[in-house]
């Protein structure tokens, strides 16, 4: 009897919850959500910062806002796993640091809702990074800690083996488990494997993936050995299309070591950046079906003002190289979320955080450059029209959802208990 009554109460509570109005309904967009196998014209309803419903022509009694997205593409908010965001150091010198930028100024306008800082800070200054940037950003910022104590403050500090301390990285990774998603090593110039080995040691201690920017390419430690012998399953080789990475043999066929590495479970990240992407490598790789596990920017003050620009531009390069749109979306959302082991991100499942990007596919004749003066042309380019983070509109390029100002009354926007409009005498 008591159980039956409890059941009734529960049903009533659930009923009340179901009638709670949605806060926002995104209507009629082509929803591409690779995690859930969705590619169809659907509505998405949001409530309390989460996805509340996904379906065709959703009933939404009492919904406070609806936005028509007919003709546009709706995807999960992008997950960019290679960025540089320790901007509070103030260092903008191309030769003496990572040229970090503040996250919110660059994320939402390009459809990105999650950014991973790739080792701009090390174990000595990670907490400063957290307090001055990560905790103050509206963008969801996660981080890989550099094995070098001072991170990328300068290239010089990444060369000092005595400051590469796996146990310190592990201590911080445990303390900040809510945001630390990996270990990074980069820019190493010596002919030994010390920086890679120390980073891998930290990876073992933390249970997190290691991302390697191989630094200088030297005969003593070839790239093929990094990906077929050193890196573990789940570890990430970034800057995959760098000019120094050997991709094709004399016949134009991809080297077998790349397939071997992938079979071992090693992951490949674009990390375009200011110096790490040439079409000479990316075009044959794409044509032969060797797609990146993550499309990422390596965003910093140098790359954003050069050939890289932003995520939509980088993604559009893959469209221009012939990768299908759904694959481009998959590799910018759900796959990178899995690489950083955050399976709650990168999809539009009911209950997930309402992180959403809305795209216009521009059609025309567009040029795309690489970092070494190479170019290709394409006929599509992605433009971010709208971004939603945790259910709130954070980027609204086309003023969708706003009302014609003439319909808002003679004094709209002036309602306040403190300020009054002081009119001039007539
Ligand atoms: Zn980088």
CA of 298 to the centre of ligand 1 (A): 5
State yes or no: pLDDT of 16 exceeds 50: no
CA of 185 to the centre of ligand 1 (A): 10
CA of 99 to the centre of ligand 1 (A): 10
Grouping H, G, I as helix, E, B as strand and the rest as coil, residue 96 is coil
pLDDT in tens, 299-346: 999 999 999 999 999 999 999 999 999 999 999 999 999 999 999 999
CA of 127 to the centre of ligand 1 (A): 19
State yes or no: pLDDT of 8 exceeds 70: no
Percentage of residues in the chain with pLDDT exceeding 70? 93
CA of 415 to the centre of ligand 1 (A): 47
Compute the average pLDDT of residues 111-128.
97
Name the residue among 22, 24, 39 with its Cα closest to residue 75: 39
CA of 371 to the centre of ligand 1 (A): 14
Pairing of strands 267-268, 356-369: unpaired
State yes or no: pLDDT of 49 exceeds 70: yes
Structural domains of the chain in order of their starting residue, each with its CATH number: 78-346 (3.20.20.140)
- The whole-number pLDDT of residue 6 equals 55
| Residue environment code for 325-361, b if the CB has 16+ CB neighbours within 10 A, otherwise e | bebbbbbbbbbbbbbbebeebbbbbeebbbbbbbbbb
pLDDT in tens, 339-390: 999 999 999 999 999 999 999 999 999 999 999 999 999 999 999 999 999 9
- The whole-number pLDDT of residue 1 equals 41
pLDDT in tens, 254-300: 999 999 999 999 999 999 999 999 999 999 999 999 999 999 999 99
Q: How far is CA 25 from CA 109, 133, 389, in A?
A: 21, 32, 14
CA of 413 to the centre of ligand 1 (A): 43
131 close to 168: Cβ distance less than 8 angstroms: no
CA of 115 to the centre of ligand 1 (A): 12
- The whole-number pLDDT of residue 131 equals 97
CA 89 to CA 134: how far, in whole Å? 13
47 close to 23: Cβ distance less than 8 angstroms: yes
CA of 98 to the centre of ligand 1 (A): 7
pLDDT band at 157 (very low <50, low <70, confident <90, very high): confident
Compute the average pLDDT of residues 120-142.
97
The chain-wide mean pLDDT, for the chain, equals 93
- The whole-number pLDDT of residue 198 equals 98
State yes or no: pLDDT of 243 exceeds 50: yes
CA of 157 to the centre of ligand 1 (A): 15
Which range is most confident: 8-22, 382-396, 398-412?
A: 382-396
DSSP string, 258-320: HHHHHHHT-EEB---TTTSB-HHHHHHHHHTT---SB----BSTTGGGTT---HHHHHHHHHH
């Amino acid at each position: 009897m008591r159980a039956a009554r409890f059941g009734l109460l529960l049903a009533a509570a659930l009923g009340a919850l179901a009638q709670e109005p949605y806060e926002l309904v995104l209507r009629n967009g082509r929803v591409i959500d690779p995690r859930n196998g969705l590619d169809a014209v659907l509505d998405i309803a949001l409530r309390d910062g989460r996805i509340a419903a996904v379906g065709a022509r959703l009933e939404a009694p009492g919904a406070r806002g609806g936005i028509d997205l007919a003709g546009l593409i709706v995807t999960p908010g992008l997950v960019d796993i290679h960025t540089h965001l320790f901007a509070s150091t103030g260092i903008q010198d191309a030769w003496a640091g990572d040229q970090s930028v503040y996250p919110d100024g660059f994320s939402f306008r390009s459809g990105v809702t999650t950014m991973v800082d790739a080792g701009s800070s090390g174990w000595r200054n990670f907490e400063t990074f957290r307090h001055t940037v990560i905790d103050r950003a509206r963008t969801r910022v996660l981080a890989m800690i550099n094995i070098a104590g001072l991170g990328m403050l300068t290239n010089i500090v990444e060369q000092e083996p005595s400051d590469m301390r796996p146990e310190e990285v592990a201590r911080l990774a445990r303390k900040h488990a809510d945001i630390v998603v990996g270990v990074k090593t980069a820019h190493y110039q010596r002919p030994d494997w010390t920086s890679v080995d120390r980073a891998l040691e930290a990876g073992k201690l933390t249970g997190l993936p290691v991302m390697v920017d191989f630094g200088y390419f030297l005969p003593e430690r070839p790239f093929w050995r990094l990906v077929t012998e050193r890196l573990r399953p789940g570890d990430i080789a970034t800057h995959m299309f760098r000019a120094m990475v050997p991709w094709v043999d004399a016949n134009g066929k991809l080297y077998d070591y790349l397939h071997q590495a992938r079979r071992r479970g090693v992951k490949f990240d674009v990390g375009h950046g200011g110096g790490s992407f040439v079409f000479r490598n990316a075009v044959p790789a794409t044509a032969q079906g060797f797609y990146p596990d993550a499309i990422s920017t390596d965003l910093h003050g140098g790359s954003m003002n050069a050939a890289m620009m932003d995520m939509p531009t980088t993604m559009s390069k893959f469209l221009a190289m012939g990768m299908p749109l759904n694959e481009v979306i998959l590799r910018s959302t759900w796959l990178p979320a899995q690489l950083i082991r955050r399976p709650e991100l990168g999809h539009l499942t009911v209950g997930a955080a309402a992180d959403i990007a809305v795209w216009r596919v521009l059609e025309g004749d567009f040029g795309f450059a690489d970092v070494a003066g190479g170019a290709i042309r394409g006929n599509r380019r992605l433009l971010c029209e709208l971004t939603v983070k945790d259910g709130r509109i954070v980027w609204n390029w086309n003023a969708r959802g706003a009302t014609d100002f003439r319909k808002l009354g003679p004094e709209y926007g002036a309602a306040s208990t403190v300020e009054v409009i002081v009119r001039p005498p007539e």
